[in-house]
Every structure is written in C-alpha cells, then in structure tokens.
Amino acid sequence: MSVPTRPSLRRSACVAVAASFALGALAACGGSSDDTGSVAKGPSGKIVVLAASSLTESFTALGKAFEAEHPGTTVSFSFAASSELATQVEQGAPADVFASASPATMAQVSDGGNTAGKPVTFARNTLEIAVPAGNPAKVTGLEDFAKKDLTIALCAPEVPCGAAADKVFAAAEVTPAPDTLEADVKATLAKVTLGEVDAALVYKTDVIAAGDKVQGIDFPEAADAVNDYPIAVLKDAGNPTTAQAFVDLVLSAGGQKVLSEAGFQRP
Amino acid sequence: MSTRRGVGARPSRRTTGLPAVLVPLATVAVLFLVVPVIGLLVRTPWRTLGDVLSRDASIEALRLSLVCATLATAVSLVLGVPLAWVLARGDFPGRSVLRAAVTVPLVLPPVVGGVALFAALGRRGLVGRPLDEVFGITLPFTTAAVVVAETFVAMPFLVIAVEGALRGADRRYDEAAATLGASRWYTFRRVTLPLVAPGVAAGAVLCWARALGEFGATITFAGNFPGTTRTMPIEVYITLQQDPAAAVALSLVLLVVSVAVLAGLRERWLTSTG
C-alpha cells in the first residue's frame, strides 16, 4: 500500500509554498530608512524628510539643491499621503522633517507634541480636474463628476486631497459618482495617466508634473478649497541642525521659486 | 502521521533528539511570528470593538472580502486543477518554463501584479481595449476586478499544491482504470481527482487565505470604493490613516475570520487523511 506516504509529500509542498509567501510578505514590509544623526555645527550627514505625495517633484529638486549647497549631506524622502505619514510619525518613524498637505494633518502631529517648533506654512495648492490627454470623455467641469457613466477617480476623504474634493463638491452642489477613492493623490493621478479613468480631481501641481499625458481643467469652486502646506522639524529628529537648514531652504526665495514653478502658490 | 517507507535502520533516540543549537533559534522564530499577533490583541480597543464592527462600512467590507475570496478560489479550482494536471502529467517540451511562467505571480510584488493587470485588462490594455471597444466591457474598478486580482495572485498557490499532490499520487491506479476500459475523462474524475482530493483541499485553503488577505493588486487594479471594491484589508489601510484604534479592531476581525475558517477546514479536510 503506497497511499499513506502521500500526505507527507503534499505537506512539504505546502510548507515550501507557505514559506515563500512569508518571505514575500517580509520583503514587502521592509523599507523604512534609518537616520544617522551627527552633531556637527553646519548642515551635515543624513536627514529623512516625510512629505505629502503632491510635493514629490518639487521636494526632490529641493533635496538635490540642498545636497549641492551642503556637500556631505544626504536628504532622503518618503512621499505618501500626509495622513499616512502623520500616522508613521506617531508610531515613531525615524524622520527629521514633516511637510503636510493640510494643516489638520500637521495639527495631528504637533498636537501630539511630535514637532520641534511651530509648523510654518510654506505653500498653497488648489485642485484641478485632470483628464487623460485628448479628454476622451469630453469633460468640461465639476458637473461631469455626477455622471454615472463616466469612470471617476477621487482621493479618499481620509486623505487631504479627498477632504479638499469634498469641500469643492459641497460648494458646487454636485454629488459626485466616483468609481474609486484612492489612497493618495499620486495614485489618483496615476489612474488618469494610465487612461483608466475619464476624470479625477487632483492638485494643480500634479497636473503640471504629469506633463502631456494629462490635461488640466480649471473650475471656479477650486477657490473654496485652497490647501495650506505646513512644514516642521520633528521633535525626535536625529539631525535637527540639518533638518532646520532644509526647512530654511524651503522657505527661502530660491525654495519658493522651485515651488511656484511646480504650480504652488505662495502662502 | 504514517511511518515513512524506505528509511532503513531505526535510529536510536539519542540521534533523533533535537540538536540543542536549534532550540534558541526556534524560540526566536516563534516569538517573531507570535508577538505581533499578541501586540494586535493588546492594542485592541475592546470597549469600542462592538461599535467599530457593527459599522455598515465594516460589515460591507467583510462581506465583500468573503465573497470575493470564495469566488477567486472557485475560479482557481476550475482553472488551476487542470493546469496542475498539465504540469504534473503532461509530457511536452518547455514544461518547466511553463511552470515558471505561471508561478511568477507567487513572487511578484502584488502592486506590480496590479499594474500588469492594467496592462492586460485595463481600458487601454492588450485584452481590455478590444473588450471595451467591441463589447463595452470595462473591468477595472468593479467587483469582478477584485476577483480577477485575487485570482491572479492566489491561483499559483493552488496550482503548486495540486501539482505536488498529483506527482505524489500513484499512477498505477490510473493505469488500472484505463485497463478496465475507463475513458481518460472518467479516470480523471473518478480515480485521479479523489486520490489527490486532500491536496486540492489544502491548495484551496491556501488560495482562499491568500485571496482574503490580498491588498496590493486589488487596490491598484480594482481601486477602492465602499461596497464595490473596498475589501477588508483596504478598509484597514484606509481606516489606519484617521483612526488607528478602529483599524486595529478591524484587523482583529480579519485575524479571527481567517484563523476560524482555516481551523474549521483543517478539522474537516486535512486531518482525516493524515
């Protein structure tokens, strides 16, 4: 009788599969960078900046400028939804600077005593309708977001761009019919870039960053939901000197120029 | 467990005991795997647990998760068992290449899987574009897309488990059935399949568990909308951004549901054959 040996064979196959699954999960979980603080006088060493997704392009450029200005420094970024980053700070993520896309999210961090000083507003952003190049669904304004036959992406109300979207729809008295509520503004934009949705509400800066794959359509109610962007050095910053120097660069004339070129308004 | 055949002399107790060096390492492994779950239990807001769980959003997400994972497992069974049979019994050149190709989703980061599904089945995808232009069917952002994403990620688990079982099964039973005049299809249905049923069940359980936990491919390809595509893992992720305590409560449900179902199925299907 040979059948009784089968379970052991099968079981080892299962174990191998389960093991590879566990490895995959581990690999997927890794990734937060550690900071190596230094106590030199001028800016030096490495800092970690947590910044709202919408700052991806402008802050990456500012980070390069900072590293060029202060040789020996390294600026690493983690871009995600501000609300997600705020949770990470509260959970003790090793970071030096936090730049948020909304004062409410920053307040969540500063009220918990996790910022070193008072957050400073460094930029403002407004929403814009984003459609794939050529505007295949002929979207003209916010009213089109109520059409059920269009495929619409919005940010989830839990993240700042979603909260801003709720405000403009309330102001315009439009009830949107979204097909997906994305976890951050870049994910929302990606659905437009891929051509998988007919329209989305993202920041003006995202439309500019997306280049010619995406077209922007302005709408008057955008003025009802202008997002202030605050920045602050974090209390547990491993490298506060360099962190403050980076914040100073963001607030400087040069930093503001980079931000306005990306489509941000001055505070 | 049955005794193994083919192992010659019976080893003495001295040589079969645990090598001392493995014990501390195994202990670390146990702590590493168990402590996070204990942490979840410690952090659970027991007092508000009822409120969080009775929210419509929670119930809706859980229902969607269960329905989609079950559908994904059904699709995986219908398509995956034949594929496993081809891989185990088929005799053709390039079989190992085929096996490698169909198990890629096993090692692919799920988000990449989501992007790949867009490239294939999105409105502008290889298959998705004609599907949209000719039939007016678009898949992304629908519940069907959730099932597709989960199937894509979970089916290889089933295929590998079933293939392993088929390789282990004794082919002489099939040959005997054939000698007695059974058709190939009859032999497959009445001899091969019952012989590997425990393997199929194990694969289905693994596949279901993987589908239930699926996040990356789903949020990428199917998006996130309450009632349509927001499954439990996505609900946990979104809730975590505003209300971490509620997210912990929701995680607990997912934990309890998966453990309960796995334990239940294990009782019924797996131990009876062991």
- Flag whether B165 is in a domain: yes
Kindly state whether residue A13 falls inside one of the protein's structural domains: no
> Does this model's pTM top 0.80?
no
Residue A117 sits in the same domain as residue A195 = no
Residues 156-175 of B with CB under 8 A from A: 157, 160-161, 163-165, 167-170
Over A69-123, what HEC string results?
Answer: HCCCEEEEEEEECHHHHHHHHHCCCCCCEEECCCHHHHHHHHHCCCECCCCEEEE
Task: Examine the domain organization and report whether A254 and A204 are in the same domain.
Answer: no
CA distance A182 to chain B (A): 6
The answer to whether position B71 is within a domain reads: yes
Spatial contact of A241 and A48, defined as CB atoms under 8 Å apart: no
Domain presence at residue B87: yes
Rounded to the nearest 10°, the torsion over CA B236, B239, B245, B248 is 0
Chain B residues near residue A9 by CB distance under 8 angstroms: 164-165, 167-168
Any domain includes B23: no
A132: containing domain: 127-224
DSSP A42: S
pLDDT by 10s per residue, chain A, length 267 = 344 444 444 444 434 444 443 433 333 333 333 344 444 467 889 999 999 988 999 999 999 999 999 999 999 999 988 988 998 898 888 899 999 999 999 999 999 899 998 999 999 999 999 999 999 999 999 999 999 999 999 999 988 899 999 999 999 999 999 999 998 888 999 999 999 999 999 999 999 989 899 999 999 988 888 889 999 999 999 999 999 999 999 999 999 999 999 999 988
Q: Is B10 within the bounds of a domain?
A: no
Set of chain A residues whose Cβ sits within 8 Å of the Cβ of B109: 24, 27-28
How many Cα atoms are found within 13 Å in the side-chain-facing hemisphere of B21? 0
The DSSP letter of residue B41 is H
B163 vs A contacts (CB less than 8 Å): 13
Q: Is the pLDDT of residue B140 over 50?
A: yes
Token match 């509260």: residue? Answer: A90
pLDDT of residue B260: 83
Tell me the helices (H) and strands (E) count for chain B, helix number first. 16, 0
With contacts defined as CB-CB under 8 Å, which chain B residues touch A102?
none
Instruction: Assign A202 to helix, strand or coil.
Output: strand
Report the C-alpha gap between A157 and A184 in whole angstroms.
10
Q: Are A183 and A154 in contact (CB under 8 A)?
A: no
DSSP B56-88: HHHHHHHHHHHHHHHHHHHHHHHHHHHHHHHHH
Q: Does B47 touch chain A (CB under 8 A)?
A: no
Nearest-Cα residue of chain A relative to residue B142: A179
A117 and A249 fall within a common domain:
yes
**CATH number, domain with residue A109:** 3.40.190.10
Q: Do B238 and A158 touch (CB under 8 A)?
A: yes
Task: Give a three-class secondary structure readout of A133-181.
Answer: CCCCCCCCCHHHHHCCCCCEEEECCCCHHHHHHHHHHHHHCCCCCCCEE
Tell me what pLDDT residue A23 has: 39
| Inter-chain CB proximity B206 and A4 less than 8 Å | no
A168 in Cβ contact with A223 (< 8 Å): no
**Tokens at A107, concatenated:** 């307040």
Task: Please answer yes or no on whether B124 and A196 come within 8 Å at the CB atom.
Answer: yes
Q: Which of B141, B240, B248 should be substituted to probe chain A, the one whose Cβ sees the most A Cβ atoms within 10 Å? A: B141
Contact A74, A67 (CB under 8 A): yes
B244 Cβ neighbours under 8 A, 6+ residues apart: A87, A90
Contact A84, A100 (CB under 8 A): no
Who has greater pLDDT, B74 or B9? Answer: B74
* B170 occurs within a structural domain: yes
Stretch among A255-264, B42-51, B66-75 having the lowest mean pLDDT: B42-51
Retrieve residue B58's tokens.
Answer: 């929670």
A49 and A71 co-located in one domain: yes
* Residue A81 touches partner B, C-beta closer than 8 Å: yes
d(CA B109, CA B114): 9
Q: What is the mean pLDDT of chain B?
A: 87
What per-residue confidence (pLDDT) applies to A28? 36
- At position A102, the amino acid (one-letter code) is S
Instruction: Give the pLDDT score at B242.
Output: 76
Are A79 and A55 a contacting pair, CB within 8 Å?
A: yes
A180 and A210 fall within a common domain: yes
Q: How many domains does chain A have?
A: 2
CB B237 within 8 A of CB A183: yes
Helix (H) or strand (E) holding A8: helix A6-29
- Is the per-residue pLDDT at B101 higher than 70? yes
pLDDT at position A216, please? Answer: 94
CB of B219 less than 8 A from some CB of A: yes
Q: Residue for token digits 């931000």?
A: A259
In a domain, A7, yes or no: no
Token couple for A168:
């403009």
Instruction: Please answer yes or no on whether A83 and B242 come within 8 Å at the CB atom.
Output: yes
Chain A residue numbers touching B222 (CB-CB < 8 A) = 180
Whether A40 maps to a domain, the answer reads no
In a domain, B37, yes or no: no
Cβ under 8 Å to A: B residues 86-125: 106-107, 109-110, 118, 122-124
**In this structure, are residues A218 and B250 in contact, taking their beta carbons and an 8 Å threshold?**
no
Is A33 among the domain residues?
Answer: no
> What domain range includes position B222?
48-273
- Domain shared by A210 and A145, yes or no: yes
pLDDT in tens, B162-173: 999 999 988 899
Cβ distance B223 to A153 less than 8 Å, yes or no, reads: yes
- Residue A156 falls within a domain, yes or no? yes
Instruction: Note whether A97 and A60 are same-domain residues.
Output: yes
A9 inside domain: no
CA angle B222, B225, B229 (to 5 degrees): 45
Residue A26 has what pLDDT? Answer: 37
Contact A156 B224 (CB under 8 A): yes
Residue A239 near residue A74 (C-beta atoms within 8 A): no
| pLDDT band at residue B13 using 50, 70 and 90 as cut-offs | low
CATH number at residue B206: 1.10.3720.10
Same domain, A100 and A142: no
Return the number of CB contacts < 8 Å for A and B. Answer: 124
Preferred mutation among A8, A11, A17 to probe B, highest tally of B CBs within 10 A: A17
* B146 CB-contact burial (10 Å; exposed 0-12 / middle 13-18 / buried 19+): buried
Contacts of residue B118 in chain A, CB cutoff 8 Å? Answer: 194, 196
Contacts with A3 from chain B: Cβ below 8 Å: 170, 195
Give the model's pLDDT for residue B239: 87
Residue B186 one-letter amino acid: Y
- Taking only the tens place, the pLDDT of each residue in B208-255 is 999 999 999 999 999 999 889 999 999 999 888 778 888 999 999 888
**Does A35 fall in a domain?**
no
Cross-chain residue pair B219–A183, CB shorter than 8 Å: yes
**A132 & A120 share domain:** no
Neighbours of A77 (CB within 10 A): 20
- CA-angle at A256, arms to A253 and A257, nearest 5°: 85
Considering CB atoms only, which of B170, B225, B239 is closest to A2? B170
Sort strands A45-52 and A73-80 into parallel, antiparallel or unpaired.
parallel
Q: Give the integer Cα–Cα distance in Å for B238 and A83.
A: 10
- Could you tell me if A111 and A175 lie in one domain? no
- A14-23, A140-149, B34-43, B98-107: range with lowest mean pLDDT: A14-23
Number of domains making up chain B: 1
Give whole-number Cα distances, B234 to A244, B13, B36, in Å.
Answer: 36, 50, 19
Partners of A232 in the β-ladder: A98
CB contact under 8 A, B1 and A21: no
ipTM above 0.90, yes or no: no
Q: Is A28 inside a domain boundary? A: no
Partner residue facing A28 (CB), from B109, B224, B225: B109
- What is the distance between the alpha carbons of residues B145 and B152, in angstroms, rounded to a whole number? 10
The reply to whether residue A179 touches residue B106, judged by beta carbons under 8 angstroms, is no
Are A96 and A177 found together in one domain? no
